[in-house]
Amino acid sequence: QVQLVESGGGLVQAGGSLRLSCAASGRTFSSYFMGWFRQTPGKEREFVARIRWSDGITYYADSVKGRFTISRDNAKNTVYLQMNSLKPEDTAVYYCAASMLSGSSSPSAYYYWGQGTQVTVSS
């Protein structure tokens, strides 16, 4: 059974940093793309970043480029999202997801999802 478990969310002041973790289990993810998405009430789920597990190639949404970094640890089967220079508009529930479809930023391309972790950035 595939499981994605996020952790690391919390409350931080604007300009601060947080690191989210996504622990993956239940299968080998070496052929997968791992993505981070976020969602606020009343809005659609928004793509944040993705990484190809096999070679570490990354892609970011323009809104987070230069501030967020996605990475993975093969030994721990874990994907990270390092978030720096946080802004109040980064406040959302952040979700980790896994996809076998290449180059997609659409939530519909991701089959496995975690339960989400809340990130709140105060001004």
Could you read off the pLDDT of 105-115 as tens digits, one per residue? 999 999 999 99
User: pLDDT, tens digit, for every residue of 48-102?
Assistant: 999 999 999 999 999 999 999 999 998 999 999 999 999 999 999 999 999 988 7
d(CA 112, CA 123): 33
* pLDDT at 27 (0 to 100): 86
How far is Cα 55 from Cα 5, in angstroms, rounded to an integer? Answer: 22
- For residue 103, pLDDT over 80 is answered with no
The mean pLDDT value for 22-48 works out to: 94
pLDDT band at 9 (very low <50, low <70, confident <90, very high): very high
Is the model's pLDDT at 120 over the cut of 80? yes
